[in-house]
Amino acid sequence: MDIKSRVNIGGVFKYEIVRGTEWDEDGNVIKEGKVIDEWEEHNIMTNEGLDYVLDVAAVNGTQIATWYVAPFKGNYTPTGSETGASVATDSTEATEYSEAVRQTYVPAAVSGQSTDNTASKASFTINGTVSIYGAFLSGDSAKSGTGSKCLCISRFPAKRDLIATDILNVTYTLSAQDVV
* pLDDT tens track, the chain, 180 positions: 666 778 889 999 999 999 987 778 887 777 788 999 999 999 999 999 999 999 999 999 999 999 999 999 999 999 999 999 999 999 999 999 999 999 999 999 999 999 999 999 999 999 999 999 999 999 999 999 999 999 999 999 999 999 999 999 999 999 999 887
- Three-state DSSP class for 80? coil
First CA to last CA distance, the chain: 15
d(CA 95, CA 110): 31
d(CA 46, CA 173): 16
d(CA 64, CA 77): 26
Q: Are 93 and 71 in contact (CB under 8 A)?
A: yes
Phi-psi region at 165: left, alpha or beta (left = phi > 0; alpha = psi -120 to 50): left
d(CA 140, CA 148): 5
d(CA 163, CA 73): 13
Distance from the Cα of residue 147 to its chain's centroid: 17
d(CA 136, CA 103): 11
What does the pLDDT read at residue 22?
A: 79
What does the pLDDT read at residue 1?
A: 61
- Three-state DSSP class for 74? coil
Q: Are 135 and 73 in contact (CB under 8 A)?
A: no
What does the pLDDT read at residue 34?
A: 93
